Chains A and B, each alone.
Chain A
């Protein structure tokens, strides 16, 4: 990892401490995420995985320490343009079955911020949304209500939304928990494809370690501190996993 140049760092966490009330959620966390990484973050429940993700996205403010994005100097304020190179794909178990949105609408949401307030989407915006849907092979379901799709299909649509927004980094939160094994594998294949052919950085959080090891190029194990950071094949990973999960 150290061989990579500093300008390739998309996310840099430096001495980050996050606290809920008087409970430490993250303690002195130092992580550099590089362009093109396929990173899996794992850890037991309550280990701070989601907290880490939210800190990266700026939804949580660290108590101390700094977060820098896309090589921007570690400062309090992150420039807006930089922030929006992220695409967030949340857990999807809570989409209302009857929510009035078609697949097409959900993907087009990815273009909303670029279009600006009070303006409707241009033909170009709509084309970009369609292209993103084609990329995740969901363009045949354009007119379906989002709530009627299977979990894996919903996940694909949400990924397409992030792609339509021209996200360079995809952040996925525990998406595997709502999907069966085959669907999970399909989504991972898709992420792998996007990572390899489109150079999209993928950061995925999950507790299915076997799956993360099979697809990710880098694994971070977290238990309030960074317990492991390296390749998935390193035998040391097994040692760490035994320690933090048992």
Chain B
């Protein structure tokens, strides 16, 4: 019993665990639904859910580690892989993953040895794989519609086999990422400090590159080689605007990813638009809204970026409310309750009902 109760307790505490559980349950439900009602729309939604969550989570670390362009290069190498697969008449997924891994490991190696600037090697890898892709397409005796579908993607063409593979690969990648999330976080903060403290930085960096390549590769079919990287970077970049906490960023990133996927599929279905562009379009919209309303960029009347109370050091995004008991707002004694209500001592003396109000940098009530 105690084991169960400990599990329940830790489950209650961990938002992340809840999220994963939700994903697994939803994924399972969708799988069941698909088995019984095989419908292209349900398959598309299932794909959108999986790619949304996976892209959102991976994207957070891609963003924090500053590897955005590398991801773009991997996406293009995957296109070359797909073209080769079609040319040779084998399952493109095999060649896609092979090319993705070659590109990511190659760039990773050059970066690690500091042979040249990373943007130089990424630019070279990026274009040379595109050249290979065009070469492979040119060698094809006839123009294949598969090429078009890999370049632009079509989430409605995802087959049951595709979806099942996608589901299992995505769950494995997600579990590994969440297993090494704190180490990745530290490496993103400062790689050298992480190495010295005993984090296996080198191994984890390569592992992450491989996971990123796999994520991009399996998402290819749904949104296409040109747009696939948007599923990784855009939801994460939108999530970045909202929070200073990694956990929240991960949850928001996957939520934004799933939302763009679902809405994108809906728009594409309703108005008969290319699914890749509607999905990425929604994601971009979410990003623009997040950017515009980001608490990180909001300015207070005094021209300071409002993010935390100068006197209590408590961060309440967007508003300068303090939560600390009896802190001093530059000589003005005040109290706060857990909802962030700020009560000045003068109010307390007069037994006024607490009202929600901000104070500016000078500690003055507005």
Please list the residues of chain A having a beta carbon within 8 angstroms of any beta carbon in chain B.
Answer: 57-59, 80, 83-84, 86-90, 98-102, 105-106, 109-110, 112-115, 117-118, 120-121, 140-145, 148, 158, 161-162, 165, 171
Cβ of B147 < 8 Å from any Cβ of A? Answer: no
Measured CA separation A57–B195 after assembly (Å): 9
A117 CA to B177 CA, complexed, in Å: 11
In Å, the complex CA distance between A93 and B160 comes to 51
Contact of A112 among B183, B240, B249 (CB under 8 A): B183
Q: Is the CB of A59 within 8 A of B195?
A: yes
Residue in contact with B308 in the complex, picked from A105, A109, A148, CB distance below 8 Å: A148
Residues from 180 to 200 in B contacting A, C-beta threshold 8 Å: 180, 182-183, 185-186, 189-190, 192-200
Whether the pair A112, B189 counts as a contact (CB closer than 8 A) is no
- Which residue of A59, A84, A105, A118 contacts B197 across the interface (Cβ within 8 Å)? A84
Q: Is B23 an interface residue (CB 8 A)?
A: no
| Cross-chain pairs A/B with CB under 8 angstroms, 17 sampled | A59-B192, A59-B195, A83-B196, A88-B197, A90-B192, A102-B244, A102-B245, A109-B186, A109-B193, A109-B197, A110-B197, A112-B182, A113-B197, A117-B183, A121-B182, A143-B314, A144-B308
User: Smallest CB–CB gap between A173 and chain B, Å?
Assistant: 9
Identity of the chain B residue whose Cβ is nearest the Cβ of A113 in the assembled complex: B198
Report B245 CB to chain A, min CB distance, Å. Answer: 6
Interface residues of B in 44-58 (CB under 8 A from A): none
Indicate which residue in A98, A142, A143, A145 contacts B240 across the interface (CB closer than 8 Å). A98
Size of B's binding interface in residues, CB under 8 A: 31
| Nearest CB in chain A: distance from B76 CB, A | 27
User: Is B246 interfacial (CB 8 A cutoff)?
Assistant: yes
Q: Are B186 and A117 in contact (CB under 8 A)?
A: no
CB-nearest residue of chain B relative to A98?
Answer: B296
Residues of chain B whose beta carbon lies under 8 Å from any beta carbon of chain A: 64, 179-180, 182-183, 185-186, 189-190, 192-200, 240, 243-246, 248-249, 296, 307-308, 313-315
Most interface-central of B185, B190, B192, B195 (chain A CB within 10 A)? B190
Give the chain A neighbours of B64 by CB distance below 8 A. Answer: 99-100
Is there an interface contact between B185 and A109, defined as CB atoms closer than 8 Å? yes
Contact flag A113-B315 (CB < 8 Å), given A90-B190, A145-B307, A161-B193: no
Cβ A144 vs Cβ B315 within 8 A? yes
Establish whether residues B313 and A100, one from each chain, have CB atoms under 8 Å apart when the complex forms: no
Of B180, B195, B197, B313, most buried by chain A (CB within 10 Å of CB) is: B197
- Measured between beta carbons, the chain A residues less than 8 angstroms from B314 are 143
Q: Taking the nearest CB of chain B, how far is it from the CB of A128, in angstroms?
A: 13
B300 CB, nearest partner CB in chain A, Å = 14
B196 touches A117 (CB 8 A): no
Per a CB cutoff under 8 Å, which of B179, B189, B198, B315 touches A118? B179
Residue in B closest to A144 when the chains form the complex, CB atoms: B313
Q: State A115–B249 Cα separation when bound (angstroms).
A: 23
Q: Is the CB of B308 within 8 A of A86?
A: no
A143 and B315 form a contact (CB under 8 A): yes
Q: Is the CB of A140 within 8 A of B313?
A: yes
Which residues in B have their C-beta under 8 angstroms from that of A99? 64, 189
Q: Is A84's CB under 8 angstroms from B198's CB?
A: yes
Report Cα–Cα, A171/B195, bound state, in Å. Answer: 14
Known: A100-B240, A144-B315. A87 touches B197 (CB 8 A): yes
Q: Enumerate the 6 nearest inter-chain pairs by beta-carbon distance, A residue then B residue, closest first.
A: A113-B198, A84-B198, A118-B179, A145-B244, A88-B196, A109-B186
Q: A106: which B residues are within 8 A, CB to CB?
A: 189
B307 touches A57 (CB 8 A): no
CA distance A88 to B195 in the complex (A): 10
Q: Nearest Cβ distance between residue A66 and chain B, in whole angstroms?
A: 19
Q: What chain A residues lie within 8 Å of B196 (beta carbons)?
A: 57-59, 83-84, 86-88, 171
Tell me, in angstroms, the Cα distance from A105 to B192 when the chains sit together.
Answer: 17
A101 to chain B, nearest CB (A): 6
Contacts of B245 in A (CB 8 A): 100, 102, 105
Across the interface, A141 reaches (CB within 8 A) one of B183, B193, B244, B313, namely B313
With a cutoff of 8 Å between Cβ atoms, the chain B residues found around residue A84 in the complex are: 196-198
Closest approach, in angstroms, between the C-beta of B182 and any C-beta of chain A?
A: 5
B313: A residues at CB distance < 8 A: 140-144
